[in-house]
């Protein structure tokens, strides 16, 4: 079902509360309409206050002195000269904040300032606050730090080959942070029944979020002993947790975190960061407000972006292309710290099964510590890399078997309302519709393989790829029984409805989601609702703006709070009008009798009637996802209330003399469940196309690797907006978007996620389109011009028409994954538990 024009709403409204996921569009007053975002006017007026726009009287400015070496012990820090500089008011080193922190409970491996060891160029060592930012910068230049350099670990092969020196004294062994080995079903049988198998090796280079806003934090420890931290963070709740941990014994309830509107996040502001904690500590030290605003280079050092992942995939299919077995290895270059890496590792193996039915599946994943800026979650968290591998490999399979890649995918679709081999519960599933939309729109059947040479001498081709993404992680970061999202509503005699929620607007429109849902349930103007968000003093916890969780989780919590408010108001109005509450309609800012629509009152009168009867009106709503079907160890990553689906066709035009190519047009279909706001959903899809295009064509976290005076220099090659290439206006193709709505019963009004999913098919679709155009494979992201050119030269020379990582035994690191955890698939009668319990290596002491 594809979104049509907003229909005309029946004047009678409806009375069958609560709203269902499959409510008829014509019954909805606000949902699905292109209403302006609640903050639209301030954003176009320059009035939105980002963290660096804040200032307080007597505010100090802080700078961090960061490591200039990739891996070393700190021998000595001398801050005497810096302290003597006029204007310097405070200096902190690692000794002042000895308690480690980290986003995941299993990897509390970071310090606000490195106490004894630096692990990448950019690791912070000293913090200096001064009356002017320039003074703090100059003071940093006066600090002397003596390092004793250690061997640098530069990537997964090096990390596997060099267990010493260990970057951390925890993890599996050596520099292996995580090893996962999960086997679902009977691989041997699956491959035995395959008519065709192939094994391919892929590499996905790391890339970063590059939010336009550089991270900034303002901290104020006031004279009442209370700390307030305003920050550009996507996760105020987790920042609050980290502050409470490191600033012990400051009580957690004396700490207030306010997440400012984020000037772009994309996952890059989801970790608690050292500069945030150091600013708080500095304010406690100096008794003055302290601000730190990072430079662009420092944003690259914060990173937490896409992991570089080396992958080997062996796949078996029947002669019609049905997947009988998939054996997938991923090797993640994690960088210097844990961050979300444990989850990232699982995500490289989790979602392959929710698009296509995979009968038997073996996933092995390894994450390594290396001396790079730490990797973490970027839009699509851990899933774009394996998605690239799978979708390109399927394209090759279709080519091998002479099948249409689109039809082969349609034949392989995972069924709706089913369990996958790895026990993920699929609800609504609109991928088939998505594929049909982009196939029809692009003229796939007539044009694929036939575009060839154009009048301008260039070659055109079409590529198709699909994907899926979760609508929020089914399990919280800290496993507990508490809700993932909470909303409080306050109804005022003025008619004002105020919604309080811990969720954070990072540009995706989460503040507006609250307004639209509450406005729909209460029948009032969404733009009249006051939204107070992301303030740990005022708002109930929402876990944060990550994993595409906010629309579903905050949305459901808002819905519950609004329905409870509606019940209270309905009772008040029912008593006053002597009408059964069940007959009341909430619409157009009125509450009225569905049988006698003229009998009713304004919303404000209704609230007053209810308050007179009920007392002060406040309601709460909360949301926890349904329990996961997976019970095995490691089954906590992947479950979600629902999965979105996307399909893309990309058209490329290749200059075969140089390998330079352009992307003139993209067709993108996304199954969003239901679009809560048409225009905003379109913006998320187009933004995903853009960011995926950047990853496909140009973005990469490249490193300089040199030797100097016997020491290895290992530093980010291009930490600037000029040299880290991101697409510009000219690069953006024409995009034909199809919003596919397959409402999911777990979503508010049936909604699923939209912010991340449509990014995923872009990278494989570009690679597949290059193949269609010029017959060469680039099995590596980014598909940069020189790689296309190299593959073209190889083809001309009669070699394999491919550019990519070594497909031989040396191509992947030799890692002993140990015995697999064996789980019977649902169709083998499995119950989600493992039937063996392989010995786990004893963990090194923390």
Partner 1 sequence: MTEPGKVLATFSVNGEPHEVAFAPHKTLLEVLREELNLTGTKHGCELGECGACTVQIGGTPVLSCLVLAVDAVGKEIRTVEGLANGPELSPLQHAFADLGAAQCGYCTPGVLMAADALLRDNQRPTRDEIKECLAGNLCRCTGYIKIFEAVELAAARCRGEQAEPRRESIHGS
Partner 2 sequence: MLRLPTFTYHRPKTAEQAVALACEHGREAMFVAGGTDLYPNMKRRQQTPTQVISLQDIPGLDQVEVHPQGGVRIGALAKLSQLEHHPHLKQHHPAFAHAVREISTPLLRNMGTIGGNLLLDTRCTYYDQTHEWRESIDFCMKKDGAICWVAPGSPRCWAVQSSDTVPVVCAMECDVELVGKDGPRRLRATDLYRDDGIQYLTKKPEELLTRLFLPPPVGWKASYLKLRRRDTFDFPILGVGVCLWFDAAGVVTKANVRLGGAGSYAIPAVETEKLLVGQKLTDEVIAAAGAAAMKPARTMDNTDQDVYWRRKVAPVYVARAIAACR
Site residues (CB under 8 A) for partner 1? 2-5, 34, 36-37, 39-50, 52-53, 55, 209-214, 261-266, 295-296, 441, 506-509, 678-680, 682-683, 685-691, 720-722, 726, 728-730, 732, 735-739
Does 510 contact partner 2 by CB under 8 A?
A: no
Which among 803, 450, 799, 452 has a CA at the least distance from the CA of 656? 452
What are the beta bridge partners of residue 183?
362, 822
Judged by CB under 8 A, the chain residues 660 through 689 that form the site for partner 2 are 660
Q: Among the candidate windows 61-69, 307-315, 333-341, 467-475, which touches partner 2 by CB under 8 A?
A: 61-69
Q: Among the candidate windows 188-196, 281-289, 378-386, 722-730, which touches partner 2 by CB under 8 A?
A: 722-730
Does 86 contact partner 2 by CB under 8 A?
A: no
CB of 4 to partner 1, least distance (A): 7
State how far the Cα of 72 lies from the Cα of 390, in Å rounded to an integer: 39
Collapsing DSSP to helix, strand or coil, 685 comes out as helix
Structure-token pair, residue 145: 């730090």
What is the DSSP pairing of strand 117-118 with strand 144-149?
unpaired
Which among 165, 166, 161, 149 has a CA at the least distance from the CA of 708? 149
Binding test (CB under 8 A) with partner 2, winner from 22, 146, 222, 657:
657
Does 455 contact partner 2 by CB under 8 A?
A: no
Q: Among the candidate windows 442-450, 536-544, 599-607, 720-728, which touches partner 2 by CB under 8 A?
A: 720-728
Which among 434, 735, 841, 484 has a CA at the least distance from the CA of 627? 484
In degrees to the nearest 10, what's the CA dihedral of 670, 673, 676, 677?
20
Judged by CB under 8 A, the chain residues 282 through 301 that form the site for partner 2 are 293, 295-297
Which among 562, 578, 579, 485 has a CA at the least distance from the CA of 521? 562
Binding test (CB under 8 A) with partner 2, winner from 121, 179, 531, 678:
121
CB of 663 to partner 1, least distance (A): 12
Binding test (CB under 8 A) with partner 2, winner from 404, 411, 492, 731:
731
State how far the Cα of 479 lies from the Cα of 470, in Å rounded to an integer: 19
Structure-token pair, residue 815: 């890692």
CB of 714 to partner 2, least distance (A): 9
How far CA 88 is from CA of 29, 133, 135, 465, in Å, comes to 58, 10, 7, 56
CB of 287 to partner 2, least distance (A): 25
Q: Is the peptide bond before 699 cis (omega within 30 degrees of 0)?
A: no
Does 131 contact partner 2 by CB under 8 A?
A: no
479/730 with CB nearer partner 2? 730
- Determine contact, residues 144/158, Cβ cutoff 8 Å: no
612/721 with CB nearer partner 1? 721
246/294 with CB nearer partner 2? 294
Does 713 contact partner 2 by CB under 8 A?
A: yes
Q: Among the candidate windows 272-280, 352-360, 406-414, 652-660, which touches partner 2 by CB under 8 A?
A: 652-660
607/696 with CB nearer partner 2? 696
20/453 with CB nearer partner 2? 453
How far CA 50 is from CA of 158, 164, 232, 599, in Å, comes to 41, 43, 7, 47
Indicate which of partner 2, partner 1, none lies near residue 53 (CB less than 5 to 8 Å, by partner kind).
Answer: partner 1
Does 734 contact partner 2 by CB under 8 A?
A: no
State how far the Cα of 311 lies from the Cα of 300, in Å rounded to an integer: 25
Place of tokens 């703090």: 136
441/626 with CB nearer partner 1? 441
Indicate which of partner 2, partner 1, none lies near residue 704 (CB less than 5 to 8 Å, by partner kind).
Answer: partner 2
- Determine contact, residues 532/486, Cβ cutoff 8 Å: no
CB of 165 to partner 2, least distance (A): 20
CB of 787 to partner 2, least distance (A): 9
CB of 526 to partner 1, least distance (A): 14
- Determine contact, residues 309/331, Cβ cutoff 8 Å: yes
Q: Which runs of E-coded beta strand occur in 634-765?
A: 643-654, 661-671, 703-708, 711-716, 734-740
387/789 with CB nearer partner 2? 789
Indicate which of partner 1, partner 2, none lies near residue 394 (CB less than 5 to 8 Å, by partner kind).
Answer: none
Collapsing DSSP to helix, strand or coil, 279 comes out as helix
Q: Which 3-state string (H, E, C) describes 80-127? A: HHHHCCCCEEEEEEHHHCCCCECCCCCCCCECCCCCCEECCCCCEEEE
Collapsing DSSP to helix, strand or coil, 291 comes out as strand
Q: How many residues bind partner 2 (CB under 8 A)?
A: 41
Does 784 contact partner 2 by CB under 8 A?
A: yes
State how far the Cα of 713 lies from the Cα of 703, in Å rounded to an integer: 10
Indicate which of partner 1, partner 2, none lies near residue 507 (CB less than 5 to 8 Å, by partner kind).
Answer: partner 1
Sign of CA dihedral 774, 778, 779, 782: negative
Indicate which of partner 2, partner 1, none lies near residue 24 (CB less than 5 to 8 Å, by partner kind).
Answer: none
State how far the Cα of 131 lies from the Cα of 615, in Å rounded to an integer: 51
- Region of residue 630 (left: phi > 0; alpha: psi -120 to 50; beta: else): beta
CB of 768 to partner 2, least distance (A): 22
Does 407 contact partner 2 by CB under 8 A?
A: no
25/381 with CB nearer partner 1? 25
CB of 56 to partner 1, least distance (A): 12
134/537 with CB nearer partner 2? 134
- Determine contact, residues 231/542, Cβ cutoff 8 Å: no
Binding test (CB under 8 A) with partner 2, winner from 24, 58, 81, 706:
706
Q: Among the candidate windows 186-194, 315-323, 568-576, 705-713, which touches partner 2 by CB under 8 A?
A: 705-713
Indicate which of partner 2, partner 1, none lies near residue 713 (CB less than 5 to 8 Å, by partner kind).
Answer: partner 2
Does 134 contact partner 2 by CB under 8 A?
A: yes
399/736 with CB nearer partner 1? 736
Burial 88-106 (b: 16+ CB within 10 A, else e): bbbbbbbebbeebbbbbeb
State how far the Cα of 795 lies from the Cα of 793, in Å rounded to an integer: 5
State how far the Cα of 559 lies from the Cα of 115, in Å rounded to an integer: 47
State how far the Cα of 825 lies from the Cα of 832, in Å rounded to an integer: 8
Contact residues for partner 2, defined by CB under 8 A: 66, 68-69, 121, 133-134, 137, 141, 293, 295-297, 657-660, 698, 704, 706, 708-709, 713, 715-720, 722-723, 725, 727-731, 784-786, 789-790
């Amino acid at each position: 079902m594809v979104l049509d024009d907003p229909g005309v709403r029946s004047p009678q409204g409806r009375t069958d509360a609560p709203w269902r996921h499959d409510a008829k569009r014509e019954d909805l007053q606000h949902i699905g309409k292109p209403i302006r975002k609640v903050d639209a006017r301030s954003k176009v007026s320059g009035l939105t206050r980002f963290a660096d726009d804040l200032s307080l009287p007597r505010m100090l400015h802080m700078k961090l002195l960061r490591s200039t070496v990739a891996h070393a012990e700190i021998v000595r820090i001398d801050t005497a000269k810096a302290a003597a500089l006029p204007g310097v008011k405070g200096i902190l080193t690692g000794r002042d904040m000895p308690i480690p922190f980290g986003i995941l409970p299993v990897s509390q491996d970071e310090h606000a300032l490195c106490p004894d060891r630096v692990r990448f160029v950019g690791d912070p060592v000293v913090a200096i606050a001064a009356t002017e930012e320039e003074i703090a910068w100059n003071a940093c230049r006066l600090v002397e730090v003596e390092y004793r350099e250690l061997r640098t670990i530069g990537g997964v092969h090096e990390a596997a080959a060099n267990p010493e020196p260990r970057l951390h004294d925890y993890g599996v062994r050596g520099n292996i942070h995580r090893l996962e080995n999960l086997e679902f079903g009977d691989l041997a049988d699956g491959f035995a029944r395959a008519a065709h198998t192939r094994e391919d090796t892929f590499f996905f280079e790391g890339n970063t979020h590059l939010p336009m806003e550089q991270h900034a934090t303002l901290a104020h420890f006031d004279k009442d002993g209370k700390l307030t931290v305003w920050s550009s963070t996507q996760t105020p709740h987790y920042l609050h947790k980290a502050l409470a941990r490191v600033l012990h014994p400051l009580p957690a309830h004396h700490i207030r975190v306010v997440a400012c509107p984020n000037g772009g996040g994309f996952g890059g502001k989801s970790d608690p960061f050292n500069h945030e904690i150091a600013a708080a500590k500095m304010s406690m030290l100096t008794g003055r407000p302290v601000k730190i605003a990072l430079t662009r280079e420092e944003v690259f050092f914060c990173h937490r972006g896409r992991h570089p992942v080396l992958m080997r995939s062996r796949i078996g299919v029947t002669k019609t292309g049905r997947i009988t077995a998939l054996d997938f290895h991923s090797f993640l270059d994690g960088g210097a710290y844990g961050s979300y890496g444990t989850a990232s590792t699982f995500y490289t193996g989790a979602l392959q099964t929710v698009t296509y039915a995979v009968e038997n599946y073996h996933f092995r994943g390894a994450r390594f510590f290396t001396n790079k800026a730490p990797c973490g979650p970027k839009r699509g968290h851990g899933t774009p890399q394996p998605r690239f591998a799978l979708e390109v490999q399927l394209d090759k399979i279709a080519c091998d078997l002479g099948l249409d890649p689109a039809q082969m995918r349609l034949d392989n679709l995972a069924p709706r309302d089913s369990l996958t081999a790895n026990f993920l519960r699929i609800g609504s599933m609109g991928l088939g519709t998505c594929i049909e939309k982009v196939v029809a729109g692009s003229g796939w059947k007539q044009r694929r393989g036939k575009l060839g040479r154009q009048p301008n001498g260039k070659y055109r081709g079409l590529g198709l790829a699909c994907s899926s993404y979760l609508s929020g992680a089914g399990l919280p970061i800290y496993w507990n029984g508490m809700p993932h999202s909470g909303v409080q509503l306050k109804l005022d005699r003025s008619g004002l409805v105020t919604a309080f929620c811990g969720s954070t607007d990072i540009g995706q429109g989460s503040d507006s989601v609250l307004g639209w849902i509450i406005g729909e349930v209460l029948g009032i103007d969404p733009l009249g609702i006051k939204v107070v968000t992301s303030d740990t003093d005022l708002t109930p916890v929402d876990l944060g703006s990550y994993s595409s969780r906010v629309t579903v989780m905050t949305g459901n919590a808002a819905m519950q709070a609004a329905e409870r408010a509606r019940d209270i108001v309905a009772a008040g109005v029912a008593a006053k009008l002597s009408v059964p509450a069940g007959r009341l309609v909430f619409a157009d800012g009125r509450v009225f009798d569905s049988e006698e629509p003229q009998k009713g009152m304004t919303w404000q009168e209704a609230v007053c009637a209810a308050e007179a009867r009920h007392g002060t009106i406040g309601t709460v709503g909360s949301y926890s996802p349904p329990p996961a079907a997976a019970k095995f160890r490691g089954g906590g990553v992947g479950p979600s209330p629902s999965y979105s689906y996307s399909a893309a066709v990309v058209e490329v035009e290749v200059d075969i003399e140089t390998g330079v190519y352009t992307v003139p047009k993209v067709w993108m279909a996304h199954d969003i469940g239901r679009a809560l706001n048409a225009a905003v959903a379109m913006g998320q899809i187009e933004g995903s196309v853009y960011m995926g295009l950047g990853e496909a064509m140009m973005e990469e976290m490249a490193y300089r690797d040199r030797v100097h005076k016997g020491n290895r220099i290992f530093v980010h090659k291009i930490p600037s907006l000029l040299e880290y290439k991101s697409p510009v206006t000219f690069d953006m193709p024409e995009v034909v978007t199809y919003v596919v709505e397959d409402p999911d019963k777990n979503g508010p009004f049936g909604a699923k996620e939209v912010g991340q999913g449509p990014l995923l098919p872009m990278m494989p679709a570009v690679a597949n389109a290059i193949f269609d155009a010029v017959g060469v494979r680039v099995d590596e992201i980014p598909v940069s011009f020189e790689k296309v050119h190299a593959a073209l030269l190889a083809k001309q020379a009669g070699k394999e028409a491919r550019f990519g990582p070594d497909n031989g035994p040396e191509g992947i690191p030799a890692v002993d994954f140990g015995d697999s955890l064996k789980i019977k698939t649902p169709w083998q009668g499995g119950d989600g538990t493992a039937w063996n319990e392989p010995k786990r290596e004893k963990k090194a002491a923390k």
